[in-house]
Amino acid sequence: MNIYDLTENWQRLDALLEETGGELTPEVDELLATMVDESPVALERAAHYLKALENVQEVCKARRAALAATVERTESKAEKVRTLMADVLKRIGKPVKLPEFTLSTQTRTSYAFEVQPGVELFELPTQFWKQPDPVLVKSALNEAAKAGTLPDGVVCSESTNTSLMIRTPKAKAETETPAA
């Protein structure tokens, strides 16, 4: 479609730039050399076309910004809904089966450990650190934290995380075993 009444050379240039992703190739240079001799009217039409391309760019930039804001807003809303749904399901205390979904929660407890200043890892019992670079053995510390037997000098902070799970039901045919 040639709504700007571009000459054939300008249309060819536009197509070449589209093909090459805007790269200047020898073919594009040759075409530009022939266009130097075209009339000022052809140049004016090309200027209108250029302005239209720039306007499209501005619209796309504005849309991109609006879409980014929409993504941020919907991510925030989704997280709030997820938290509220998890809270309701946690209070119900059991999975809720619906035609489209099975809704449930899963609660995990995790621990974060740090050694207090002045306490060396080597001073702790050996099951709580390993070599070559001494690091805390989280599995042993988790067990000790649950049992309430953490060694002196280790500080434990507990965090609980409840996540929402949405599963779609499996087709009955997939779950049934055919009779032999």
pLDDT tens track for 91-150:
999 999 999 989 999 888 999 988 889 888 878 888 888 777 778 899 999 999 999 999
User: Is residue 175 pLDDT above 70, yes or no?
Assistant: no
Q: CA 161, CA 110: separation in Å to the nearest integer? A: 8
User: Is residue 77 pLDDT above 90, yes or no?
Assistant: yes
Give me the residues paired with residue 130 across strands: 135
Matching residue, tokens 């499996």: 170
Indicate the range of 16-30, 40-54, 96-110, 143-157 predicted with least confidence.
Answer: 40-54
Residues 6 or more apart whose CB falls under 8 angstroms from that of 57 comprise none
Tokens read off for 159: 């965090």
User: Is residue 171 pLDDT above 70, yes or no?
Assistant: no
pLDDT grade for 178, boundaries at 50, 70 and 90: low
* Distances in whole angstroms, Cα of residue 160 to Cα of each of 31, 72, 111, 174: 67, 26, 9, 36
Percentage of the residues of the chain whose pLDDT score is greater than 90: 33
Are 106 and 99 in contact, with CB atoms under 8 Å apart? no
Helices (H), 36-153: 40-92, 138-147
DSSP 8-state symbol, 150: P
Q: CA 105, CA 86: separation in Å to the nearest integer? A: 6
Q: CA 1, CA 62: separation in Å to the nearest integer? A: 26
| Helix (H/G/I), strand (E/B), else coil: 128 | helix
pLDDT at 76: 96
